[in-house]
Amino acid sequence: MTRSWTPGTPDADLSAIARTPRLVVALDFDGVASPLVAEPMAARALPEVAAQASRLASLPDTLVAYVSGRSLHDLREITEHDDASPIVLAGSHGAQYWYPGTGELDSGSEQTAGETREALWEAARPIIDRYEGAEFEPKTFGMGVHTRRADRETEAQVFAEIDALVAERFPGLRRRAGHRVLEFSSRTEGKDAAMAALREHFNATGILFAGDDVTDEDAMRVLQDDDLGVRVGPGESAAALRVDSPQQIAQLLETLADERAARQE
């Protein structure tokens, strides 16, 4: 059962994850580190979230990652990420990775995926362009359709038409629906795969994962007893804790950093 976290109130689960020997803090970006915005590429982390993420990443045996459905190229742009960053990136729902000191890993199958992707883009763009407020997002392994500027009737219509197109011509693509977005990908990885990859890469003894959308529940469901899931905003969730907003995520990260720093003194 997911329970609300109150800033300034001691929490046994948060204290426990702060004490784990080797911690990965994994954050979805849109709706978690950044408020949801109408223009997808205008998203930026709240300064207070970015500050606490940097603070955590500076602590011993503490790794911070942004885990997103965005393509790695776009994720690097919206996180204002450069090659000197200590922050890990997991893009395309766990199909792409960037690690400090290593850089981008070869995600594989891009050339084969490109043929399907280009055909999908060519077929989908004219449909999306007919709907006011709908926006096409190119992705490394597919595409997204954003409808944050559209009304709900328009959203239903464009999603239905794109669904019909994909069912007829691209039935092998993985479909994901989220907050005002519909995505299709030639890769099947979800954020559950990202949790497994980060756990193995860093030999983590505990993961704190925070997410706000349906696709984040893939990660929530594979968290283990020594991990902690945090849901941002409403909706059913497998997370243990719930906060109201990215602003409260910043407060939670600050509490986590305070407790972890104190443990290591």
User: Which of the four pLDDT bands, split at 50, 70 and 90, describes residue 110?
Assistant: low
87 phi and psi angles, rounded to 5 deg: -85, 130
24 or 172, higher pLDDT: 24
Nearest to 78 by CA among 30, 135, 136, 38: 30
Predicted structure pTM score: 0.87
Structure tokens at 8: 């300034």
Q: What is the mean pLDDT of residues 88-112?
A: 84
User: Which of the four pLDDT bands, split at 50, 70 and 90, describes residue 178?
Assistant: confident
Encode pLDDT of 232-243 as tens digits: 999 999 999 999
Nearest to 207 by CA among 194, 3, 215: 194
Mean pLDDT estimate for the chain: 94
Question: What dihedral do alpha carbons 185, 187, 191, 193 form, nearest 10°?
Answer: 180
d(CA 160, CA 148): 16
Encode pLDDT of 179-192 as tens digits: 899 999 898 889 99
User: Which of the four pLDDT bands, split at 50, 70 and 90, describes residue 1?
Assistant: confident
Asked whether the predicted pLDDT for residue 107 surpasses 90, the reply is: no
Integer CA distances (angstroms), 235 to 38, 178, 232, in order: 21, 12, 9
Asked whether the predicted pLDDT for residue 108 surpasses 80, the reply is: no
Encode pLDDT of 193-210 as tens digits: 999 999 999 999 999 999
Running DSSP on this structure, what letter comes out for residue 150?
S
Q: What is the mean pLDDT of residues 147-153?
A: 95
The DSSP code sequence of 180-233 is TEEEEES----HHHHHHHHHHHHT-SEEEEEE-SGGGHHHHTT--TT-EEEEES
Asked whether the predicted pLDDT for residue 14 surpasses 60, the reply is: yes
Question: Which residue type does 234 have?
Answer: P
